[in-house]
Amino acid sequence: MSNNQVYNGNQLRIRSSRNRGGSLLIDLPIGTRLTLGFLAAALIASMVAGIIGLQRSQSLSQQSEFYRSILTTNTSLNTGTQYLQLIKTESQTILDLIQTPNPSVETLKADKTALQDLIQRYDNLLNGYISKDVLSKHQEQKNILAITGQADTITHQQDILAGSAKRTWQTHKNSLIEVMRYFDNNDVTRAKNLQKVQVELTNSDAASAIRALIQYNSRLTDSIQAAESIQSQNQIITTIIGSIIAFIVIVIIGLVISGTIVRRLQQLRQVTQAVEQGQLDRRVNVIGRDEIADVSGSVNAMLEAIVGLLDETRNQRDALTNAAEHLFSDMRVVSAGDLRINAPVSNDPIGMLANAFNFTVGRFRRFLQRTKTTAEQLDVIARQQVERSESFTQSLLLVKTNHKSTSTLPGKDVEVVSGSGASFKADNQQTALLNQLSQTRELIQQVANEEIVQRLRSTLRLAEQATNTIDRLTNLPQTASALNMGPDELRTHFQEDLRTLSNLNQRIAREMQTSQKSSARGFQEIEKEMAQIMNKAQLLKTQNSDGSIPRANTEALQEMIKHSTQFANDVHAMARQVNHLAQEVRTGIVNFQLDTVDSGGNLPALSQPTFAQSSPSNVQLPGRNKTMNLLETY
């Protein structure tokens, strides 16, 4: 008996054991064995019931035969009694006929012939009874009466009564012969005396003996009934004993047949329980060639296959553990900050995880590169804005210096050089310059909006979560060893962490792209506005250098210079804020590459940007403090 199983792409052939022993009974199939057991039990029960029934029928047959014999005997004895009565009557008739004066010879002869015939019949009847109908001649009848324990007594009584009847009849017969001889000699006197003295008396004795036999047969019926009662009781006892014997034999047969099944099933159960407790070296002893032997052989073959599969699984687990250790080593390298690592890829499940790990690390490497590029762009934009604010401040300083020199000339009044048309044009230019400064300030507020700062903070938090995820992947071997995780569960946890890391990478990329686009648009708008302001300031400076400023526009010019100074301060503060954010982004990248999860969890929080906020003390721009002091004295 063989069976084919498929495991891990390999076909395993399970073949049962053929080394079997046993007896003829065990070699039979279980169905045939049970059928033979049931047939044997039914045969035993049938034999017991048949034997008991046969004995009962034989007993009843013997009893009925006994009753029939008694009935026949009684009939015969009653007939004998009638014969004796007829003999007595016939002898008296002959005697009376002889005493008549002219007896009829033919009648006398007929009466004598009748008397002789009656004597012969009674003699045959009595001899037949003694030779055939007595109990001593019927052993089966004696056996029936033997149950009561009085068979010999009853037989002896019958023999005595039969002997008495025989003797009385013989005496009566002799008397009749003597009388017949007197009848033949016509000796009436002697015949009459003999008839009166001997024949009648012996006839009475013979009749009494016959009646005694008839009464004996009546009493014999009671003995038969007593024997029948005792035999019925014995029959009941025999039935009970036979049933008990049959039950014991059937139980023995059942135990023998069930023992061939139960013992081996118990052994099979013991082996399976031992295997359940870890004793994989236990095997079932295969005995016989029936179904249980086939199952036992199949169980042994299955255990062999299981042991082989366990060895193969153990080897695969060791290989998987080694590959996982290499992969976790690469993860620890990535957690240390080196994103240049590439795990070796193979066709096993760990190789697939390594491929996914390489893909995630590559995406994270590209994200860090884009973040670094964004930080550098923010740094460049901040430096450009600082340089432009410095240039704009220098231009305002020159305008302020020229205005002071013009307003402090002694003894000289300010005259209007141009006409009313030129003065109106200068006022319009100053008003347009002030409006454009207000718009530029609003753009600066948009660029320094809290939403951008919040996005940068969100980006840093996502980076921190990514660091935590990588650290969790690094500690996954220790966690798996502590929790006794299997390869499938370990691979599931690893894939979940990789998906989490990939999602964090995508979210960080989206946040950085959004922040970069918003900052780029804001700085482009600021750059355009600054270019327009610079052109208008240069034009206004040229006009102011060509002639003196009217007194009506002095206050407007002062207001414009004041707003320009405030605008320059805002631009400078914004540039410092952008520079600070760029440094924080670079710091976050360095922390991700160098620090552990604990240091990554302590990243500094970004300060809320405001336009009245002072610049950070760790950022020093050359030549800025001197220029700001000059502007504040205006």
Distance CA 480, CA 170 (A): 127
Q: Round to whole Å and give the CA distance between 155 and 116.
A: 32
pLDDT at 438: 61
Over residues 358-376, the mean pLDDT reads 75
Instruction: Say if residue 152's pLDDT is above 60.
Output: yes
Residue at token pair 């135990």? 255
Cα dihedral sign for 53, 55, 60, 64? Answer: positive
Tokens at 33, concatenated: 């064995």
In the predicted model, is pLDDT for residue 416 greater than 50? Answer: no
Do residues 609 and 450 touch, judged by C-beta distance below 8 A? yes
Q: What is the pLDDT of residues 30-73, one digit of tens each?
A: 778 788 888 888 888 888 888 888 888 887 787 778 788 888 88
- Kindly report, residue by residue over 94-106, the tens digit of the pLDDT: 888 888 877 778 8
Determine the 3-state secondary structure of 43 from DSSP: helix
pLDDT of residue 596: 37
509, 370 contact by CB (below 8 A): yes
- Please, are residues 284 and 299 in contact by the beta-carbon 8 Å criterion? yes
Instruction: Report phi then psi at 103, rounded to 5.
Output: -70, 150
Which residues have CB under 8 Å from 85's CB, separation 6+? Answer: 207
DSSP assignment letter at 413? -
Q: What is the pLDDT of residues 582-624, one digit of tens each?
A: 677 667 666 655 443 343 343 333 333 333 333 333 334 334 4
CA-CA distance, 129 to 4, in Å (whole number)?
A: 91
- Cβ neighbour number for residue 534 with a 10 Å cutoff: 14
- Do 147 and 234 touch, CB atoms closer than 8 A? yes
Higher-confidence position of 141 and 42:
42
C-beta separation of 617 from 595 below 8 A: no
- DSSP assignment of 516-552 equals HHHHHHHHHHHHHHHHHHHHHHHHHHHHHHHSPPPGG
Cα–Cα distance, 419 to 11 (Å, whole number): 109
DSSP H helices, 129-199, are 139-146, 151-185, 188-194
* Exposure letters 21-31 (e unless 16+ CB within 10 A, then b): ebeeebbbeee
pLDDT of 210 above 80:
yes
Whether 215 contacts 158, CB under 8 Å: no
Domain ranges of the chain: 41-276, 348-406+421-632
Q: For the structural domain made of 41-276, what CATH number should be given?
A: 1.20.120.30
Residue 22: half-sphere exposure toward Cβ, Cα within 13 Å: 20
**CA separation for the pair 473, 348 (Å, rounded):** 19
Structure-token match 């804001």, residue found:
522
- Tokens 């009653």 belong to which residue? 78
Strand pairing partners for 3? Answer: 14
Q: Which of 79-93, 326-340, 540-554 has the lowest mean pLDDT?
A: 540-554
264-273, 313-322, 358-367, 568-577: lowest mean pLDDT where?
Answer: 568-577
CB 107 within 8 A of CB 164: no
Q: What tokens appear for 556 in the block?
A: 């407007």
What pLDDT is attached to residue 620?
Answer: 40
Using alpha carbons only, give the angle 551, 554, 557 rounded to the nearest 5 degrees: 150
Contacts of 46 (CB under 8 A, 6+ apart): none
Question: Measured between alpha carbons, how far is residue 13 from residues 7, 292, 303 in Å?
Answer: 11, 20, 12
Q: Does residue 282 contact residue 275 with C-beta atoms inside 8 Å?
A: yes
pLDDT confidence tier of residue 248, bands split at 50, 70 and 90: very high
DSSP string, 609-631: P-TTPPPPTT---TTHHHHHHHH
| Alpha helix segments (H runs only) across 100-150 | 105-128, 139-146
Q: What is the pLDDT of residue 333?
A: 73
Q: Measured on CA atoms in the order 347, 353, 357, 360, is the torsion positive or negative?
A: positive
